Structure 1
């Protein structure tokens, strides 16, 4: 392994530890909303735009029966509803309800809250990190 690959690997390990271990918001958002993170992930996706069960399953990389189970639970909670799909009468579209939109907004608020160590960085470090992250996302 060359120096560049080794350094990139170490940076990747650090980023994973930062986001997925030390400051993982999934548990916090699950506890706040009283449901699994998979249900929250589906809810946030449906809040962004209506989905068929098939498109939701594809996005979440799950099988259709599990997507149905998730949507059934969200519907029982009053967070989503199914309506006829005008583009395909054989399928239904899953839409967010006002209660579901509020829950998705709360999930986004929790997930988007930066961890304290990030907030504590000096402005020039934040600017450099922002520049690097945007470059990685391009």
Structure 2
């Protein structure tokens, strides 16, 4: 009988854990996406759509093929080409021959592209006031939790 009761308690604890996980996830989504979404601000600062800004930030981190960029952005290849074409016209990226595969091109950021990516990064990395004003012990705990979640 005690074993059955323990199995029932394990299910209750698991359900509470799932409930807590959903509550935390909803809270994080609201905090980041609803109350403090900086994507629009970053896009406006660069004068482009956020998908273009996101592509530029990724390209600034390291040169990529169009295929790799499309996979990172989770968009199809033709749209990736349009995004990169626009960034080329703006002087933010260039296409160069791939050193190991002449059939494909690498896209890399120009100096102007690196500067624009840094601007967008500064905007996106600006924490909300509610995070800045956390108690230092709470901030340290949250920092450890986020690091663990990111693996």
Specify if TM > 0.5: yes
Which has the higher Rg, Structure 1 or Structure 2?
2
State how far apart, in whole Å, the 2-side matches of 1:42 and 1:136 are: 25
Count how many residue pairs are aligned between Structure 1 and Structure 2.
138
1:14 aligned residue (17, 20, 27): 27
1:91 aligned residue (104, 110, 129): 104
2:48 aligned residue (31, 35, 43): 35
Partner of 1:75: 88
Deviation at 1:110, TM superposition (A): 0.5
Deviation at 1:36, TM superposition (A): 0.6
SS in 1 for 2:37: coil
Partner of 1:53: 66
- Mind listing any 5+ residue stretches in structure 2 that lack a counterpart? 1-13
Partner of 2:6: none
SS in 2 for 1:87: coil
State how far apart, in whole Å, the 1-side matches of 2:148 and 2:63 are: 31
Deviation at 1:90, TM superposition (A): 1.1
Q: Which residues of 2 match residues 86-125 of structure 1 at below 5 A?
A: 86-125=99-138
Aligned CA-pair RMSD? 1.0
Runs of 4+ residues deviating >2 angstroms? none
TM-score (norm 1): 0.97
Deviation at 1:64, TM superposition (A): 0.7
1:3 aligned residue (6, 16, 19): 16
Partner of 2:11: none
